[in-house]
Chains A and B, each alone.
Chain A
Amino acid sequence: MLKDGRFGAYGGAYVPEILMPALEALEAAFLDAQTDEAFQAELAELLAKYAGRPTPLTRCRNFGAGKARIYLKREDLLHGGAHKTNQVLGQAMLAKRMGKTRLIAETGAGQHGVATALAGAIFGLETRIYMGAHDVERQHLNVFRMRLMGAEVIPVTSGGQGLKDAVNEALRDWTASFADTHYLLGTVAGPHPFPLMVREYQRVIGKEARAQILEEEGRLPDAAIACVGGGSNAIGLFADFIEDADVRLIGVEAAGKGLDGNEHGATLLRGRPGVLHGAETYVLQDGDGQISESWSVSAGLDYPAVGPEHAFLKDSGRAEYVGVTDREALDAFALLARSEGIICAFESAHALAHALKLADEVDLIVVNLSGRGDKDVAQAEALL
C-alpha cells in the first residue's frame, strides 16, 4: 500500500491476506486516476450529462417552524435517485481501467444496488448485487429496478439478513473472484482505499453546496447536516466544509426504536471501537466482540459499523453525531412531503428531523437530501 489508510487510529485494511493485492491494485489505479486529466474529464462529463450534476440547492419555503433558513442539497434529483450515483461512476471507470469484467456490490435500501446496476449497464460489466433477504422484502421496488438494468440480485439469508450480511457475502465473493471482479463497495466503510476513494468521489456534494450557499446567502451555513449509515453522503457533504471551523458538521444516526434499547443503528453513539468489514471503527457489539444486529426503519441506516473517518471526526470533535428515531424520521418525511412537495428517502428524513430540532438554535442550515423516497412509499403507507 502507498498509504496507511488511517484516519487517526481508525481505518486500515483488515482483510484476508489474499485480498491485499486487489486492494493495492485498486489504490494504485485510484491514485493514478486522480491526476489523470482524461479520466477526470470523462467522469466530469458523465456526472454532468448522464447523472445531472450539479444538483440544485433548494431553499425550503415552508418546512421548519423555527428561525432558521433551511436549504436542501438535492441529491434526490441525481440520476438513480440518490447520491450513490456520484461514486459508482468513478469506481466503475476504475474497474474498466483495471481490466475487470464483473462488478459485485452490497446494498441495504437498494440505492447503491441500483447505482451499481446502472454503472454496470453503462460500462458493459456483469453485475451481481448482494442484498439481505429482509431488505429484499422491504425494498422490492429497488430490487426490480436493479433487475431491469440487468443486474443479478442475490438475497442473503445469513445473520440478520440485512446490510451487514450483504457486505459479508460480497467480501466472500471477492476473495474468490478478485482476478476479474471489482468489489464496488457502496460507502466510506470497508478496508483502505474504499473510505478515502468513496469520499473523494462524493466530495462533489459539499463542493457544490458550499459554492451554492455562498451564492445564495453570501455566507457559509451554521450547520451542515446529513444522515449516517456507512456515512458516504455525510462525508461527501462534510469534506469541503471541514476547514471551515464555524460550520457545525452534524451526522444523524438511526436511533430506531430508541437509544436506550438495542433496536437502533447508532454506531457512533452506542458502539465502541472494533474491527468490522475491513476497518477499525466504531462497531455495535457485545462485551465479547460479537457484532450486534442493528435496527432502523430505513434499510440504508441499518448497519452496525460506520466509516472510519466518521469515527475520527467524532473523537476529534470536528463533527457531532446525534440520533433520530424511526418515529421522528417518519414525521419529518411526511412534513417535507406536505410542506415542500418533496418525497425523500427515509434515510434523508433522519437528517431533516434533526434540522427541525436545530431550527430555533441557528440561522442557516444545509441538509443533504441524499435520496428520493419512491422506494419507501409502500412502507410509508403502512406506517403513517
Chain B
Amino acid sequence: MKRCAAMFAREPGVFGAFVMLGDPDLATSAAILEQLVAGGADMLELGIPFSDPVADGPVIQAAAERALRAGTTPDDCFALLAAFRARHADTPVGILTYANLVLGGGRDHFYRRAAAAGVDNVLVADVPLFEAAPYAAAARAHGVDPVLIAAANTPPERLREIAALGGSYTYCVARAGVTGTGETVRFEHAGMLAALRAAGAPPPVFGFGISQPDHVRAALAAGAAGAISGSAIVARVAAGQPVADFVAAMKAATIP
C-alpha cells in the first residue's frame, strides 16, 4: 500500500507538519525533521525555498529567506529528503513549492529527482487546476502524486476534476489569504467536503491558519481526514525553540 493510503487507513485523524527545508541551515533542518517525527507527525510537508512565495505570509516568507541566505538549493533539499527517507521508510513526505522551481531544471527532471528522493507527493502552490494537467502528468510518470488544492469558493464541477486529478490527499484551504497564524479559523466547508467525498477525492486535509490543537479538533469535527500546521511550527524554528512538544500537542488533538 502506498504510504499515504496506509497512513489514512491507520490514523483516524492525521496531523501533518510543515517546515521549510534548509531553514535555518541544512544541518539544523535535518535535526528538525527528526523532531517532527519524534513529536508524532503522521506526515511531513516540506518546503523547497523560493525567492517569491506569493501564497505565503510573513512567517514562511522569512523561513524561505533564511534558507536561501544559508545557500539552500533544490539539490540540497533533494539530498536532505533522500537522507530522511533512508531513515524513515514509512513516513509520507510531500514537497510544497512554486512553479518556477519545478520548471527551473525542467519539469520532468524535478519529478524524477523527487521520486529518487523517496518523495510521495508534490504540491505546487501557484498551479491551480487550470494549469495542473502537465504537472500532474509529469508527477505520475515518475510515481509521484500531484496534490491539488480545494477552497471553499471552488465550484463543484472543478472539485470533481480536482478529485480525479489529485493524489495522496486533497489540500483544503481552511480560510482565504496567505499562510499564517493569528486569524480565527472557521470550518464552513460542508459543501466542499461533501462534493469532494461524492467525487471520491483523495482524503481532505486542512491547512492555512492551523496553529492550535483546537483547530485540529475543529477540522476533524468538520469532516476532514487531517490537518497541517506550518507557520506555527516555523515560528518556533525561527525563535530557535524545539518543536517536538508542539507537534505532540497537535497530534494529541487528533485522538478522540
User: Which residue numbers of A lie inside 8 Å of B, CB to CB?
Assistant: 1, 12-21, 158-159, 164, 168, 171-172, 175-179, 273-278, 283, 285, 287-291
B231 to chain A, nearest CB (A): 13
Across the interface, do A16 and B52 meet the contact criterion of CB distance under 8 Å?
no
Across the interface, do A276 and B100 meet the contact criterion of CB distance under 8 Å?
yes
Which of A13, A20, A175 interacts with B55 by CB under 8 Å? Answer: A175
Task: How many A-B residue pairs have C-beta atoms within 8 angstroms? Tell me.
Answer: 111
Across the interface, do A176 and B178 meet the contact criterion of CB distance under 8 Å?
yes
Interface residues of B in 88-131 (CB under 8 A from A): 98-105, 125-131
Q: A14-B99, A274-B100 are in contact. Are A290 and B68 (CB under 8 A)?
A: yes
Across the interface, do B104 and A289 meet the contact criterion of CB distance under 8 Å?
yes
Which of B50, B51, B151 interacts with A18 by CB under 8 Å? Answer: B151
A277 to chain B, nearest CB (A): 7
Residues of A within 8 A of B151 (CB): 17-18
Q: Contacts A17-B128, A18-B154 given; 19 further ones with Cβ under 8 A?
A: A12-B131, A14-B128, A16-B54, A16-B55, A17-B148, A20-B128, A158-B65, A159-B52, A168-B54, A172-B56, A172-B177, A175-B176, A177-B176, A275-B98, A275-B103, A287-B104, A288-B73, A288-B105, A290-B104
Across the interface, do A17 and B52 meet the contact criterion of CB distance under 8 Å?
no
Q: A21-B155, A275-B126, A288-B74 are in contact. Are A172 and B54 (CB under 8 A)?
A: yes
Residues of B within 8 A of A276 (CB): 52, 100
Q: A288-B74, A290-B50, A290-B51 are in contact. Are A16 and B126 (CB under 8 A)?
A: yes
Across the interface, do A291 and B100 meet the contact criterion of CB distance under 8 Å?
yes
A-B residue pairs, 7 tightest by C-beta: A289-B104, A176-B177, A275-B99, A18-B151, A17-B149, A17-B128, A289-B100
* Complex CA–CA separation, A18 to B51 (angstroms): 21
A-B contact pairs, 19 of them (CB 8 A): A14-B127, A14-B128, A16-B55, A16-B128, A18-B154, A19-B128, A164-B52, A168-B54, A172-B177, A172-B178, A175-B54, A175-B177, A275-B126, A287-B104, A288-B74, A289-B103, A290-B50, A290-B51, A290-B104
* Complex CA–CA separation, A43 to B101 (angstroms): 41
Q: How many residues in B have their beta carbons less than 8 Å from beta carbons of A?
A: 41
Across the interface, do A16 and B74 meet the contact criterion of CB distance under 8 Å?
no
B65 to chain A, nearest CB (A): 8
* Complex CA–CA separation, A176 to B177 (angstroms): 4
- Answer yes or no: B211 CB below 8 A from chain A CBs: no
Across the interface, do A16 and B149 meet the contact criterion of CB distance under 8 Å?
yes
* Complex CA–CA separation, A180 to B98 (angstroms): 27
Across the interface, do A15 and B105 meet the contact criterion of CB distance under 8 Å?
no
Residues of A within 8 A of B154 (CB): 17-18, 20-21
A363 to chain B, nearest CB (A): 43
Residues of B within 8 A of A17 (CB): 128-129, 148-151, 154, 162, 173
* Complex CA–CA separation, A277 to B102 (angstroms): 15
Residues of B within 8 A of A159 (CB): 51-52
Residues of B within 8 A of A176 (CB): 176-178
* Complex CA–CA separation, A372 to B155 (angstroms): 45
Residues of B within 8 A of A20 (CB): 128-130, 154, 158
Across the interface, do B51 and A13 meet the contact criterion of CB distance under 8 Å?
no
Residues of A within 8 A of B65 (CB): 158
Interface residues of B in 135-175 (CB under 8 A from A): 148-151, 153-155, 158, 162, 173
Greatest chain A CB density within 10 A among B74, B100, B151 is at: B100
B98 to chain A, nearest CB (A): 8
Greatest chain B CB density within 10 A among A15, A177, A287, A291 is at: A15
Greatest chain B CB density within 10 A among A14, A164, A274 is at: A14
Across the interface, do B153 and A18 meet the contact criterion of CB distance under 8 Å?
yes
* Complex CA–CA separation, A164 to B68 (angstroms): 18
- Answer yes or no: B213 CB below 8 A from chain A CBs: no
* Complex CA–CA separation, A285 to B99 (angstroms): 13
Residues of B within 8 A of A1 (CB): 130
* Complex CA–CA separation, A17 to B150 (angstroms): 7
A84 to chain B, nearest CB (A): 23
Across the interface, do A16 and B125 meet the contact criterion of CB distance under 8 Å?
yes
Residues of B within 8 A of A277 (CB): 52, 54
* Complex CA–CA separation, A236 to B162 (angstroms): 37
- Answer yes or no: B181 CB below 8 A from chain A CBs: no
Q: A176-B178, A275-B103, A289-B104 are in contact. Are A15 and B51 (CB under 8 A)?
A: no
Q: Which residue of A lies closest to B97 (CB)?
A: A289
- Answer yes or no: B229 CB below 8 A from chain A CBs: no
* Complex CA–CA separation, A13 to B130 (angstroms): 7
* Complex CA–CA separation, A276 to B162 (angstroms): 23
* Complex CA–CA separation, A159 to B105 (angstroms): 23
Which of A18, A175, A287, A291 interacts with B52 by CB under 8 Å? Answer: A291
Binary per-residue interface labels of chain B (51-81) against chain A in the complex, 1 for a CB within 8 Å, 0 otherwise: 1101111000100010010000111000000
A267 to chain B, nearest CB (A): 13
Q: Which residue of A lies closest to B58 (CB)?
A: A158
